[in-house]
Copies of this chain bind each other. A is one copy, B any other.
Amino acid sequence: MSTVRTNTFKKSIMHVGEMASGAKLTVPVYSFKSGKNNAPSVYVQANMHGAEVQGNAVIFQLLELLKSADIQADITFVPYANPVACNHKNGEYTLGRFDPITGVNWNRMYHFDEAVIAPFAEQYLHANEADICADFKKLLLNEIEEKLDDHIWGLTTGQRIAYQLQRLAHQADLVLDLHTGPISSKHLYCPEYAQESASFFDIEHTILIPNGFDGAMDEATFCPWWSLQQAFKGLGRNFVMGEGAFAKESFTVELGSQEQIDLEVAKEDATSILSYLQHKGVIVSADKSLQTYLPKEMTRYACYLKDYKALYSPMGGMVDYLAEFGKPLSAGEPLVRILRMDNYGVSEGANEEGEQDHNSEPLHYVSLDHTVLPILHFASASVNQGTELYKVFSKYFEL
């Protein structure tokens, strides 16, 4: 007979900065210490970008569902990861993709110094796997601690936040950074080597990313390990990424559209994440009373990062977004219809500058010359020439 589990996540408060008034910027951290070491440890954060709030609801549902789970590893949850972004309004919306002072994307400020890889690989060429794993993790954490300890020139606001989150993330084996698109279908950023894991999420679209560091949380946590594995390989010692000491995986989970909270959908997404965690052994359901989390059956599509393309508007105007997410759009089919009322009735003659403008129609359609899979589109109908209209899988394949 099973007893009711009531796993308790300990809440602590992390200070990540201060505002001009002296107000402290704090982030709640929920952590569960399993006392076991049977499975990879987990780190999940949400809301690094201010408008991308749904991940907070997913963490809520994860906490609720995990109350009665059999947890085999340490788990840490950080909702509201970026209190500056999260609370920054301009008009009704949340201006949260970048530091409002500097314009720097909040998710491009994590740290990875490629220079540490080669020396470590050489030094540990003949070390055992456990030591490699432990000491490399220690090295990564030391790097972050040193950054946080710089008392001379200091850190930027975003670095101070990012490094403190990264310090938590480096302690885990599996890292999930919960984001959303602007108006978007669900999709997953997954390192190329972890492609198999993508099938355990209830997400139809996966972007496979290479070992290039561009400052994001997922890259900051898997690139060091991947780079290390490659350095060892160059020295003649082969490890398999995703296994043993290198059983590290990081994902950016794009939960749909920004500026929205939906607790029902959040429960589905929590279930999807638990399906991945159960696959990894983080939760087990040997006990019949416990829920089993299995991935849904669906056709999953993948696309290499280089083929995940943004389409920029060829003109200013007001956009009727026509292409549906996740449905292949044939060559020549319009993605958008752009309204240009200022051109109404002008095409028949000259425009106000006395020149004939080639694009002077009130409606303008934009299509591509090959089939694509639309994933997300811009959040507003009003676009400038050069505003990103859609992001699409330009080439893709079944996962």
Contacts and interface: CB of A to CB of B under 8 A. Distances in A.
Interface stretch (A22-30, A135-143, A206-214, A284-292): A22-30
Q: How large is the interface on A (under 10, 10 to 19, 20 to 34, 35 or more residues)?
A: 35 or more
Contacts of A263: 320, 337, 339, 363
B339 A57 contact: yes
B17 A362 contact: no
A318 interface: yes
A51 interface: yes
Given A153-B309, A157-B387, A342 B28 contact: yes
A379 B92 contact: yes
A145 B310 CA distance: 20
Interface stretch (A78-86, A126-134, A237-245, A268-276): A78-86
Interface string A337-355: 1011111111000001110
A323 interface: no
Oligomeric state, in number of copies?
4
A356 interface: no
A318 B19 contact: no
Interface stretch (A195-203, A228-236, A254-262): A254-262
B344 A83 contact: no
A97 interface: yes
A399 interface: no
Given A18-B385, A20-B317, A60-B339, 15 more contacts: A9-B344, A17-B384, A22-B340, A23-B25, A23-B26, A53-B381, A90-B91, A91-B95, A91-B101, A92-B182, A101-B384, A157-B312, A259-B381, A261-B319, A263-B337
5 contacts: A19-B385, A86-B382, A97-B103, A99-B103, A153-B311
